[in-house]
Amino acid sequence: MYVVFLGTDGATYRFLSRFGVYVFFAGTAVAQLLTVVASKSLYQQSVIVAQRVLVYTMLVLGPLNLLLKSILENSDNSENLIEWYFVLFLCLFFILSGVAWSRSGRL
């Protein structure tokens, strides 16, 4: 449905765009959480702890972003800050996974 409305303008496109972004980021964070839970024995404990910190922080940042948007008149600055950190943590998770896999010899 989202792809059908790419290149259009209007309320439907804005809704689908926002919805798609939220589903992507929330879905990736949940997938990373499931990865951390399922991979306890696959890599070093220090990597799993670091990944858990990243995932738990992301799971706090998401609702915090929604809360700030609902209570602040101009939430653009806080929204941008939270979103940039969220994406940074999202990418760091994958970097840590790569480091862990290369150290384990399972690459």
Query: Is residue 51 assigned to a domain?
Result: yes
Using alpha carbons, select from 95, 88, 98 the residue that is nearest to residue 61.
Answer: 88
> pTM of the entire structure?
0.76
Please report whether residue 73 resides in a domain. yes
List pLDDT tens digits, range 3-52: 666 677 778 777 877 787 788 888 998 999 898 888 766 666 788 889 98
Nearest-angstrom CA–CA distance, 5 and 13: 6
In a domain, 46, yes or no: yes
Structural domain for 91, as ranges: 31-104
Residues making up the chain, counted from first to last:
107
78 inside domain = yes
Domain presence at residue 76: yes
| Residue 89 within a domain | yes
Report whether 50 contacts 96 (CB < 8 A).
yes
Number of domains in the chain: 1
Does residue 15 sit within a domain?
A: no
Examine residue 38 and state whether it is found in any structural domain, yes or no: yes
